[in-house]
């Protein structure tokens, strides 16, 4: 494996983050903090506790997951789309760099940015609500797996998209609504029986539930199921990326 190539692409992508610090880090942290203020104050004044956890603390894992998903997709999709847009992708494809090294570089950089952002938001949340992390290793595991999985998803979107507008299409119209409806701001057991069943078809429920369990030991679905669903998403996205490079989909034309 060409570690020099991986390191070069990775450092280039990370350097872009520091050049756009306001957009990449500060803006998402501020917007998430506003969620704490609005939801924690407005709804928290009416809903004191959920499953024995104060409402402000209860929504922290969901808000971190919301930022993690959106930023993982955004970072990875833009990272691979921009070389396609400028035409430099052909230089990369003709270089002595394997497809695996390209994916590891771009996805690794995108996941690193998202994990860093998630940890900053977690630290910021401690300023608003009392936090506890009962299973820190599981929390890190879910954080890393989710960041890598949805960075792969963003990589796929970046190759599929043929305009800047399409880069935002899937995150805005699909991922963000599913996250809001995936138990980020409420417990699934609070819903009527019919909607409880419907909600379980939302894949984001399993990610939020597993991540929340690592904080408070409570979950809407068993943590093993959450981990299994995350692994399924990872396997599916890996298979799609492998197919893209095997067929040259939107890379060689």
pLDDT digits (tens, 9 = 90+) for 47-98: 778 888 888 889 999 999 999 999 999 999 999 998 888 888 888 888 888 8
pLDDT (tens digit per residue) in 34-54? 877 777 666 766 777 888 888
For the four alpha carbons of 56, 57, 59 and 65, in that order, the dihedral sign comes to: positive
- What is the H or E stretch that residue 149 is in? helix 136-160
- Percent of the chain residues topping a pLDDT of 90: 48
pLDDT higher for 30 or 61?
Answer: 61
Question: Residue 50 forms beta bridges with which residues?
Answer: 53
pLDDT of the residue at 248? 84
Q: What is the pLDDT of residue 103?
A: 93
User: Is the pLDDT score of 213 beyond 80?
Assistant: yes
Task: Confirm whether pTM is higher than 0.85.
Answer: yes
Cα 51 to Cα 219: distance, rounded to the nearest angstrom: 10
Per-residue pLDDT, averaged over 142-152, amounts to 96
pLDDT of residue 185: 86
Go through 94-119 and write b for each residue having 16 or more CB atoms within 10 A of its CB, e for each that does not. Answer: eeebeeebbbbbbbbbbbbbbbbbbe
Q: Which tops the pLDDT comparison, 146 or 20?
A: 146
Task: Look at residue 113 in the predicted model and tell me its pLDDT.
Answer: 93
pLDDT given for residue 211 in this prediction: 96
Q: What is the mean pLDDT of residues 226-234?
A: 94
Q: Quick one: pLDDT at residue 25? A: 79
Q: How confident is the model at residue 159 (pLDDT cuts 50, 70, 90)?
A: very high
């Amino acid at each position: 494996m060409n570690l020099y190539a991986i390191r070069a692409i990775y450092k280039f992508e990370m350097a872009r983050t520091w050049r756009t610090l306001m957009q990449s880090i500060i803006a998402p942290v501020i917007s998430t903090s506003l969620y704490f203020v609005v939801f924690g104050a407005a709804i928290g004044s009416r809903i004191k506790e959920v499953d024995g956890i104060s409402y402000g603390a209860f929504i922290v894992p969901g808000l971190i997951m919301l930022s993690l998903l959106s930023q993982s997709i955004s970072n990875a999709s833009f990272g691979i789309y921009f070389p396609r847009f400028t035409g430099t992708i052909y230089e990369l494809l003709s270089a002595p760099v394997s497809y695996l090294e390209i994916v590891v570089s771009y996805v690794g950089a995108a996941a690193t940015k998202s994990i860093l952002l998630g940890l900053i938001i977690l630290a910021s949340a401690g300023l608003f609500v009392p936090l506890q992390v009962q299973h820190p290793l599981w929390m890190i595991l879910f954080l890393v797996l989710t960041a890598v999985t949805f960075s792969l998803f963003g990589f796929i979107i970046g190759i599929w998209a043929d305009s800047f507008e399409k880069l935002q299409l899937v995150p805005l119209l699909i991922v963000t609504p599913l996250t809001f409806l995936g138990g980020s701001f409420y417990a699934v057991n609070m819903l009527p029986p019919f909607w409880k069943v419907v909600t379980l078809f939302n894949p984001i429920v399993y990610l939020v539930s597993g991540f929340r369990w690592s904080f408070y030991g409570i979950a809407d679905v068993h943590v093993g199921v959450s981990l299994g669903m995350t692994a399924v998403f990872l396997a599916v996205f890996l298979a799609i990326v492998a197919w893209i490079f095997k067929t040259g989909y939107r890379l060689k034309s």
